[in-house]
């Protein structure tokens, strides 16, 4: 998308971008109209230079897979009442799917 921007890092092509409509101000700040894009981290880059979001680590995948704490406590309670192993089976499946490296 076209925005008034100024490159602040020639190597990465990261930019400061004017997000309002005061074009006179942006021009006075040394910005020019150029095609820019916003990266996953909120930073702005010249179009085509925005870094891609890195793949999630096994720790991030594992943490996202675990049920909420309250849900786990409920599983543990009902396992005790019913003599089942739902919580243990659930956690074991997650640990097996996302093993520590």
The tens digit of pLDDT for each residue in 61-73 reads 999 999 999 999 9
What percentage of the chain reaches a pLDDT higher than 70?
A: 99
Q: Cβ neighbours of residue 39 under 8 Å, at least 6 residues apart?
A: 45, 50, 51
100 — pLDDT class (breaks 50, 70, 90) = confident
The tens digit of pLDDT for each residue in 1-21 reads 999 999 999 999 999 999 999
Q: What DSSP letter does each residue of 16-72 carry, written as one string?
A: EEE-SS-HHHHHHTT-EEEEEEE-TTS-EEETT-PPPPPPPPHHHHHHHHSPPHHHH
Q: What is the pLDDT of residue 72?
A: 98
Q: Is the pTM of this model over 0.75?
A: no
Q: Is the pLDDT at 101 greater than 90, yes or no?
A: no
């Amino acid at each position: 998308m076209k925005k008034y921007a100024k490159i602040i890092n020639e190597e990465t092509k990261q930019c400061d971008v004017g997000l309002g409509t005061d074009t006179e101000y942006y021009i006075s700040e040394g910005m020019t109209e150029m095609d820019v894009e916003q990266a996953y981290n909120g930073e702005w880059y010249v179009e085509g230079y925005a870094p891609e979001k890195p793949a999630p680590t096994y720790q991030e995948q594992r943490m996202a897979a675990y049920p909420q704490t309250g849900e786990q406590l409920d599983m543990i309670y009902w396992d005790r009442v019913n003599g089942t192993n739902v919580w243990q089976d659930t956690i074991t499946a997650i640990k097996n799917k996302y093993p520590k490296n």
